[in-house]
Structure 1
Amino acid sequence: MVDWAAMRGRWFKSRTAGVAEPAPRPRVAVVTDSACSLPDGWVASDAAGGLVRVVSMPVMIGDQIYGEGTDKMIGALALALAQGQDVRTSRPAPGQFEAVYAELAAAGFEAVVSVHLSAKLSGTVDSARLAARASPIPVHVIDTASVAMGLGFAVQAAAAAALAGDDAERVADAAVSSAAGAHILFYVPSLDQLRRGGRLGAAAGWFGTLFAVKPILAIRDGLVVPLERVRTAPRALARLEELSREEIARRTGTVRVAVHHFGNEAEAEKLASAVVRDRADAEVMLCPLPAVLAAHAGLGVLAVAVAPAVDVPDDAGAGDSGAAGTEPRAAFGPAKTAPAPDAGPLPKPLNDADSHLDID
């Protein structure tokens, strides 16, 4: 039954309150790269407010160069990975960032916060910093020390701060705080693509000759680190679910969760339902892994990114302790570290070996 009394109360309140003042036009724009893995359509949505731009990172399949996000490229990449073809990626050229910064200046923005994947995984941050020198408006370049929706959540936090009317420093603080509170765990069904591209680095010795190993990996200190070796795919998926649920359970307040996939959406849907089944308050989304990351992880990858809910406090970024394993950095002014989230550290890896994806 409709509660007409409540309806009348709302109607009366809206009539007496008068017309709300329009929100001030945002002064700060947000730029990122296509490794951010943002959900389809988000950049064009009201949540982004028309102030977010994504610079595409090229993917090279054989002698063909593709831009991120086209169905043709996704199909070509999936086929190339299945056939073991040569697949490479590259950082965006500084000129791409220069063009975007100039366009935003012409649109009337007063500053830009440029939020990017880990500098230890790609030279994209360097390209953005070079372009910032030629920008007609100030550009604050942020190295999130993260990737995928660990980066994407930071972009969303920055956009929320910009829409709230915050200045560039506070917008940058929001991105840094979100990135510092994010954790990413992922599973790859095969090490072939990582081996083929020479991306295992020092971690190659950790895997040894176990070609059939199903590794659980994480992002820590801006690098890919191995956590556990599992012998079978079902056990690896079960362990990824378990670790993800433990991470989510440690969090207080609303938690955001993104489950990434490439070529295995049904598995991702099942994983997404499982990891949040004990947290009715969690915000969960499915996000295909962008081609620039799938090119290194391969077909069948599953990843879980966990971050605190978007919050733009009055004193954003004013904390003095960083989350374990992450140190996002801004290009201008003193680096600011977000307060540590209410969560324990990632599971300790078996050793300190790491893997440098070197996405450039």
Structure 2
Amino acid sequence: MNERTKSPRAGWLPKWLAPRGLARTRIGVVTDSAACLPAHLLDSEDFACLGIPIIVDNHVHGEDLNALMMGLAMGKPVKTSRPAPGEFTRVYRALAAAGCESIISIHLSGQLSGTVEAARLAAEGIEVPVKVIDSRTVAMPQGFAVADVLAARDAGAPLEMLEQIARSATQNSVYFAVPSLEQLRRGGRISTISSVVGNLLNVKPILSIADGAIHPIEKPRSFARAQARLVALGAQAATEAQGPVRIGVMHFGAAELATEIANELAPLSEQQVSIESLPAVLAAHTGIGVLAVAVAPLNPQSEPEEQLPS
């Protein structure tokens, strides 16, 4: 469900508007489905979003949310797999053939998935320059940065500025409340001991992303308390930001609770709070009933370039 009525991109546009009359270089933009993008952005020009497949009971289901929901409900093993480098090669070559003179490829944290490494492998054999960016985050924080890149690209910003915008994803906050640690344990995101102890104590942990990895930050004893803490953490992030923010709420199988959170946080958001269902690749690890809040500055500060291979 998407409730955004205005684009969340305006913060970058005044800086990078191209002078009228200048020819604009065509730049392709690529991301992956972990970005949790709203549907209207998926049809952007010179843009591709690669799906990260889910595997339910050893059967590959692409991004089939129904198969995922049934698999989770029946307790079947659920995993995810990075896109093959060949998939990136196909997309990069298609953008180059369509006239793109360079490409920027923005992906979920390399500490959570091998997707960004697959992109880098594919980029080495492409006839146009491909800049691969590890966003060091996931979900809406990644998606907000991708949306800003698309807007700035369409306004005429050069590749160097798009890189800077993409790297600003690390300034976006995200908090997840998961009803159970079991799926994270199965996916190797937490230890077996943490999962067992958490379930025995009825802990409904709140997790965040820092330095590209998942970190537990609080351990409420009930999901009602976890929901309240999500609102409080989102409000805190919004008030501590230097300037206006946009806020998004994510869920998987918890649309009513997500709407409640969005309504509570609406006064703090410069734009209407967006509500999105988590993509399959993330829901596969968090399980049914997960809730999340993302907060992103509309005017992020400059970030130093990361010391990673392009």
Q: TM-score range by the shorter chain?
A: 0.7 to 0.9
Query: How big is each residue's C-alpha offset from its partner over 1:296-316, in whole Å with a ceiling of 9 and x where there is no partner?
Result: 0000001111111267xxxx8
Q: How many residues align?
A: 292
- Residue 161 of structure 1 aligns to a residue in which SS? helix
Aligned residue in 2 for 1:76: 67
Q: CA 1:328 to 1:248, structure 2 compared with 1: closer, same or farther past 3 Å? A: farther
Q: For the pair shown, which has the larger CA radius of gyration, 1 or 2? A: 1
Contact 2:152/2:162 (<8 A) preserved? yes
* Counterpart check, 1:331 vs 2:309: yes
Query: How big is each residue's C-alpha offset from its partner over 1:216-272, in whole Å with a ceiling of 9 and x where there is no partner?
Result: 110111111001111111111111111111111112322111111111111111111
Q: CA 1:140 to 1:88, structure 2 compared with 1: closer, same or farther past 3 Å? A: same
Alignment of 1:23-102 (within 5 A): 24-44=23-43, 48=44, 50-68=45-63, 73-102=64-93
Alignment of 1:179-258 (within 5 A): 179-201=169-191, 204=194, 207=197, 210-258=200-248
* Counterpart check, 1:285 vs 2:284: no
| TM-score normalized by the length of structure 1 | 0.76
Aligned residue in 2 for 1:267: 257
Moved more, 205-214 or 106-115: 205-214
Counterpart amino acid of residue 39 in structure 1: P
Counterpart amino acid of residue 31 in structure 2: T
Aligned residue in 2 for 1:4: none
Aligned residue in 1 for 2:11: none
Query: 2: distance between equivalents of 1:124 and 1:141?
Result: 11
Query: How big is each residue's C-alpha offset from its partner over 1:125-158, in whole Å with a ceiling of 9 and x where there is no partner?
Result: 1100000001110000000100001111111111
Query: 1: distance between equivalents of 2:106 and 2:307?
Result: 10
Query: 2: distance between equivalents of 1:299 and 1:224?
Result: 18
Query: 2: distance between equivalents of 1:281 and 1:63?
Result: 44
Query: How big is each residue's C-alpha offset from its partner over 1:15-38, in whole Å with a ceiling of 9 and x where there is no partner?
Result: xxxxxx678555211100111100
Aligned residue in 1 for 2:4: none
Contact 1:119/1:145 (<8 A) preserved? yes
Pairwise CA RMSD: 2.3
- Residue 113 of structure 2 aligns to a residue in which SS? coil
Query: 2: distance between equivalents of 1:237 and 1:75?
Result: 25
Contact 1:160/1:310 (<8 A) preserved? no
Query: 2: distance between equivalents of 1:144 and 1:328?
Result: 10
List alignment gaps of at least 5 residues for structure 1: 1-20, 321-326, 333-360
Moved more, 246-255 or 184-193: 246-255
Aligned residue in 1 for 2:121: 130
Aligned residue in 2 for 1:295: 284
- Residue 273 of structure 2 aligns to a residue in which SS? strand
Query: 2: distance between equivalents of 1:219 and 1:255?
Result: 18
Counterpart amino acid of residue 248 in structure 1: A
Contact 1:145/1:328 (<8 A) preserved? no
Q: CA 1:270 to 1:187, structure 2 compared with 1: closer, same or farther past 3 Å? A: same
Q: CA 1:175 to 1:280, structure 2 compared with 1: closer, same or farther past 3 Å? A: closer
Which consecutive aligned stretches of 4+ in structure 1 deviate over 3 angstroms post-superposition?
21-26, 205-211, 327-332
| TM-score normalized by the length of structure 2 | 0.87
- Residue 230 of structure 1 aligns to a residue in which SS? coil
Aligned residue in 1 for 2:295: 306
Aligned residue in 2 for 1:109: 100
Counterpart amino acid of residue 29 in structure 1: G
List alignment gaps of at least 5 residues for structure 2: 1-19
